[in-house]
């Protein structure tokens, strides 16, 4: 079946619908949802029952890069700085040194095991060197796995920040395969340039995005998420244009925004969460369509050996070395080693050798696909079991609610008061978003003269305004007084 303009929407929507329905019941069988999305794509492909012929690595790579933008940005928006600050250096070490050690050790093993050249082995190692943010985020959150200490933020920080390192290594080793006369040391300047420019650009664009969102006056709330999407792609493309790492830039940009106050934040975060799921489904469906199962069969033997080496030797070795400077119990290190999920990202990176036209590109792609599939099936289905065996599991925690969700709850906001902004009030003329209200309090309504306003983040406070404020408790209300810079003598209502 060939995709045409007339049937692409029907086929695409049916595949999305089937994927969502199958994903809804996947937890009963302990199968990660993302694997089922991949299988749906394979079944719909040219060698499956759908007979959809799709053999376009360039289009698949484009879809992969766009999807990774949304997945990494959404993961960054869900990152709380207070939770990752204690494990920041552990995460950085895992996402840099850990990725490098995984790539090198696996690359050397592939070179020894197969007829790959050294650079081809290192290229394969680089492609599968990072843990997959989409797989880790979705499985940890979908299963709501409770973990002791700082394991969960460490794992999410690593998976969200190590793709840029793997990308740099993939591009560097690919260039060495194409032009083997280059020195191995020639990749060092590229690495430093990509990472430093990516980090700086991410922080700069994060501040710029916050400024634009808070200062621009848009008529419709629905335009704000669209604005952030545009700024996200500008961040990625501009960073790539100046020679930096776009994936690192958008992740840092999103982490910065996650810990700032900006207009319609809850709406934007929810929208990106939905789009991230859509992009994950589209990405896995696309990669499922791209693969030919008959091409996987000849590499199962080699692929299984490489996958076992990655899971039981390369990944644990890299984790142990990367975490050597830090105090951490051995069972926690072992669990981090086990949560080395490979998913769609390595498959997307495997399209780069295909487009470069190197000799073993197809074999690399098929091996990487098999490694990703076995990783998610073996490791993704046993995260809870291994956590219990290693005794690092904790009682499952409730998913935190956004401020708007808690506002609608019947069991909170027990303190309700009216606060009048004095004529000489220092907050007059400021936007609500700039007041840095506690998340446990809300301005429900503003009485301004004869008008009653339902405020949002862009609403400007004026002298004489009567604010109806709801808070969880007195302590939260005291923080409100500090934000509004008024004496704690509100009128009770």
Q: Please tell me the distance from the alpha carbon of residue 208 to that of residue 238, in angstroms, as a whole number.
A: 13
User: On the CB side of 323, how many CA atoms lie within 13 Å of its CA?
Assistant: 25
Contacts of 360 by beta carbon, 8 Å cutoff, 6+ apart: 116, 120, 353
- Whole-number pLDDT of residue 272: 93
Contacts of 437 by beta carbon, 8 Å cutoff, 6+ apart: 261, 443, 479, 480, 483
Q: Please tell me the distance from the alpha carbon of residue 221 to that of residue 218, in angstroms, as a whole number.
A: 7
Q: For residue 94, give Cα distances in angstroms to 98, 118, 413.
A: 4, 24, 41
- Residue 405: closest CA among 270, 273, 274: 270
Which residue matches tokens 């295909």? 354
The tens digit of pLDDT for each residue in 375-422 reads 888 887 788 888 889 888 765 544 444 444 443 344 445 678 888 888
Q: How many residues does the chain have?
A: 493
3-class secondary structure per residue, the chain:
CCCCCCCHHHHHHHHHHHHHHHHHHHHHHCCCHHHHHHHHHHHHECCCCCCECCCCHHHHHHHHHHHHHHHHHHHHHCCCHHHHHHHHHHHHHHHHHHHHHHHHHHHHHHHHHCCCCHHHHHHHHHHCCCCCHHHHHHHHHHCCCCECCCHHHHHHHHHHHCHHHHHHHHHHHHHHHHCCCCCHHHHHHHHHHHHHHHHHHHHHHHHHHHHHHHHCCCCCCCHHHHHHHHHHHHHHHHHHHCCCCHHHHHHHHHHHHHCCCCCCHHHHHHHHHHHHHHHHHHHHHHHHHHCCHHHHHHHHHHHHHHHHHHHHHHHHHHHHHHCCCCCCCHHHHHHHHHCCCCCHHHHHHCHHHHHHCCCCHHHHHHHHHHHHHHHHHHCHHHHHHHHHHCCCECCCCCCCCCHHHHHHCCCCCCEEEEEECCCCCCCCCCEHHHHCCCCCEEEEEEEECCEEECCCCCCECCCCCEEEEEECCHHHHHHHHHHHCCCCCCEEC
Residue pair 269/402 in contact (Cβ under 8 Å)? The answer is yes
CA dihedral sign, ordered 170, 171, 175, 178: positive
Contacts of 363 by beta carbon, 8 Å cutoff, 6+ apart: 299
- Whole-number pLDDT of residue 397: 47
Residue pair 128/167 in contact (Cβ under 8 Å)? The answer is no
For the sheet with 415-420, list strands across it: 451-453, 441-448, 466-471, 415-420, 491-492
Residues of the chain scoring pLDDT < 50: 29-30, 397-412, 492-493
Q: Please tell me the distance from the alpha carbon of residue 244 to that of residue 436, in angstroms, as a whole number.
A: 33
- Whole-number pLDDT of residue 210: 94
Q: Please tell me the distance from the alpha carbon of residue 487 to that of residue 39, in angstroms, as a whole number.
A: 62
Q: For residue 250, give Cα distances in angstroms to 159, 163, 209, 214, 261.
A: 14, 12, 11, 19, 18
Degrees, nearest 5: CA angle 258-259-263: 70
């Amino acid at each position: 079946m060939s995709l045409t303009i007339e049937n692409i929407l029907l086929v695409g929507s049916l595949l999305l619908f089937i994927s969502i329905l199958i994903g809804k019941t996947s937890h009963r069988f302990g199968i990660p949802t993302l694997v089922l999305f991949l299988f749906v794509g394979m079944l719909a492909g040219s060698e499956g029952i759908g007979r959809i012929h799709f053999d376009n690595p360039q289009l698949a790579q484009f879809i992969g890069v766009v999807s990774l933008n949304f997945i990494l940005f959404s993961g960054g928006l869900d990152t709380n700085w207070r939770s990752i600050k204690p494990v920041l250096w552990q995460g950085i070490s895992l996402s840099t040194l850990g990725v490098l050690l995984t790539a090198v050790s696996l690359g050397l093993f592939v070179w020894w095991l197969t007829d790959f050249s050294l650079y081809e082995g290192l290229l394969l190692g680089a492609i599968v060197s990072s843990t997959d943010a989409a797989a880790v985020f979705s499985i940890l959150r979908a299963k709501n796995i409770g973990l002791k200490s700082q394991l969960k933020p460490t794992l999410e920080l690593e998976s969200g920040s190590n793709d840029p390192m793997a990308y740099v290594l993939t591009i560097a080793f690919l260039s060495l395969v194409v032009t083997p006369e280059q020195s191995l040391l020639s990749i060092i300047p590229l690495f430093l340039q990509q990472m430093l420019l990516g980090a700086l650009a991410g922080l700069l664009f994060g501040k710029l995005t916050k400024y634009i969102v808070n200062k621009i006056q848009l008529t419709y709330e629905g335009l704000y998420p669209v604005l952030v999407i545009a700024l996200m792609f500008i961040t990625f493309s501009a960073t790539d244009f100046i020679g930096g790492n776009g994936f690192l830039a958008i992740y840092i940009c999103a982490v910065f925004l996650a810990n700032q106050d900006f207009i319609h934040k809850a709406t934007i975060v929810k929208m990106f969460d939905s789009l991230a799921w859509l992009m994950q489904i589209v990405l896995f469906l696309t990669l499922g369509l791209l693969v030919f199962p008959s091409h996987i069969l000849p590499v199962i033997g080699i692929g299984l050996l490489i996958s076992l080496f990655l899971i039981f030797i390369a990944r644990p070795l890299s984790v142990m070395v990367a975490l050597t400077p830090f105090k951490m119990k051995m069972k926690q290190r072992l669990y981090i080693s086990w949560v080395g999920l490979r998913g769609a990202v390595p498959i997307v990176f495997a399209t780069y050798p295909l487009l470069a036209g190197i000799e073993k590109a197809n074999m690399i792609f098929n091996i990487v696909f098999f490694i990703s599939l076995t990783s998610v099936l073996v490791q993704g289905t046993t995260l809870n079991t291994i956590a219990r065996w290693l005794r690092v599991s904790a009682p499952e925690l409730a998913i935190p609610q956004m401020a708007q969700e808690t506002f609608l709850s019947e069991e909170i906001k027990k303190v309700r008061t009216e606060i009048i902004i004095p004529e000489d009030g220092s907050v007059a003329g400021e936007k609500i978003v700039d007041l840095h209200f506690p998340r446990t309090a809300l301005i429900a309504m503003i009485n301004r003269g004869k008008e009653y306003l339902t405020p949002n983040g862009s609403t400007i406070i004026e002298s004489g305004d009567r604010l109806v404020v709801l808070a969880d408790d007195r302590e939260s209300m005291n923080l409100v007084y500090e934000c509004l810079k008024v004496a704690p003598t509100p009128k009770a209502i």
